[in-house]
Structure 1
Amino acid sequence: MKISKYAQASALWLDYQKALASYVFSKVKDQDASQEIMQEVLMKMYNACCSDKEIQKIEAWLFQIAHHAIVDYWGKQKKFTDDLPEASLEEENLVWRELAEYVEPLINLLPEKYARPLYLSDIEGIKQADIAEQLNLGLSAIKSRIQRAREMLQKEIQTCCRLETDACGTLIGISVKDSCAPLQEHRKKIE
């Protein structure tokens, strides 16, 4: 995607500003510094309007800009030399557990012919050959449906969740988008 108009950049900023601000503040723990970093991210996004650069994944691109701005901030503060401190294993496990809570409700959004085999395989842990027998389908059909369902599930996760990753691609945070009614309902039920 090319950001070719300032109005387009403004709309994107409004979509991601809250998640970016949360991410930045979680790393610097200072409101003034967070606002400065957010200004840098905004300016870099607006500068993309003047370039002819193709951006494949806007969200990942914005979080990468924020990450680099945070690294620069800490470098200026001389608080560290290499990179941001790594999230502890316990924090990482919490993020993965939170994502896992959303998988089953998202599977339920898939068409039944894909959802059922995926649920039996990945949630129930049933062997694919047994699923094929249970659903009275061929093994190759079940394998194909499970693979297709995983792809569909990945798209649902991207549609409904903001996944925050560090520079190495490690998952460090997840938030449900306001536009995803099914997961918003699910969150209300579990809170």
Structure 2
Amino acid sequence: MNVETIWKEYQQSLKAFLHKKIANPDDVEDLLQEVLIKTYHNLATVHDTKKIKSWLFQIANHTIIDFYRKRGRNLELHSEDLWFEEQEISLTSELAQCVTPFIEGLPEQDARLLKAIEIEGLSQKEFAEREGIKYSTLKSRVQKSRQKLYGVFNKCCEFSIDSQGNVMDYQKRESGCGCS
């Protein structure tokens, strides 16, 4: 695993990613070089070669954020300039379309619970009161149901997760999951 090999494989994808987020082509080239330098300096910290791609795109994402922060000190920022708000909404809405069929594929009790809490937005306390269940018991059931749902999702998709547990990106697994 060396920088040259990795860079040959991912440079074009990283450049396309940067072009989606940065309008000025010269800035894209500068940021691409920053990503290369960060990759060179930090490649030894990656122990799992399967995570190289998500690691590289995380570096690119942080480089973009730093770029906008530096510019933000000198410029007035407008909401339409905040590309990351648009991406987060887009990624979330894209994944939200997938959630309901997966939830419906769970056992009935888990599906009913997750639909009420995750889809309809009912609080766990409200659901516990409505169902006559102890709140602590419900919290445990919610965790178990979420784990089952994650298991189903994990069969179909590979997720890139940031340090706070937020989904940054996902990719459909080649093996598929038997879902349409």
> TM-score, normalization: structure 1?
0.50
Structure scoring higher RCO (CA < 8 A, sep ≥ 6) equals 1
Report the number of matched residues: 165
Paired residue secondary structure (2:172): coil
Q: Report sequence identity in percent.
A: 29
Change in CA separation of 1:88 and 1:121 when aligned onto 2, cut-off 3 Å: closer
Q: CA deviation at 1:17?
A: 7.0
SS across alignment from 1:81: helix
AA aligned to 1:29 is A
Instruction: State the Cα deviation string for residues 73-111 of structure 1 (Å, max 9, x = none).
Output: 679xx9553698434977765554334223223434656
Q: Decide which of 110, 117, 132 is 1:114's aligned counterpart.
A: 110
Counterpart of 1:128, as a letter, is A
Are 2:24 and 1:27 equivalent residues in the alignment?
no
Contact preservation (8 Å) 2:106, 2:148: yes
Corresponding residue to 1:102 among 98, 101, 104: 98
Partners of 1:176 and 1:183 lie apart in 2 by: 18
User: 2:31: which partner in 1?
Assistant: 37
AA of the residue aligned to 1:69: T
- Runs of 5+ consecutive residues of structure 1 not aligned to the other structure: 186-191
Shift of 1:183: 10
Specify every segment of 5 or more residues in structure 2 that has no aligned partner in the other structure, as ranges: none
Alignment of 1:1-191 (within 5 A): 5-6=1-2, 10=6, 18=13, 20-31=14-25, 33-49=27-43, 51=44, 53=45, 61-70=55-64, 80-81=72-73, 85-87=81-83, 93-108=89-104, 110=106, 114-124=110-120, 125=122, 127-131=127-131, 141-153=137-149, 156=153, 160=157, 176-179=170-173, 181=176, 185=180
Cα RMSD over matched residues? 5.2
Distance in 2, Cα, partners of 1:59 & 1:150: 27
**Residues 98, 174 of structure 1: 8 Å contact kept:** no
User: Quick one: distance in 1 between partners of 2:119 and 2:62?
Assistant: 37
Check 1:70–1:184 CA distance in 2 against 1; reply closer, same or farther (3 A cut): farther
**8 Å contact 2:158–2:172 — kept in the other structure?**
no
Query: Is the helix fraction higher in 1 or 2?
Result: 2
Is the contact between residue 46 and residue 52 of structure 2 (CA under 8 Å) also seen in structure 1? no
1:188 matched to which residue of 2? none
**1:29 match: secondary structure:** coil
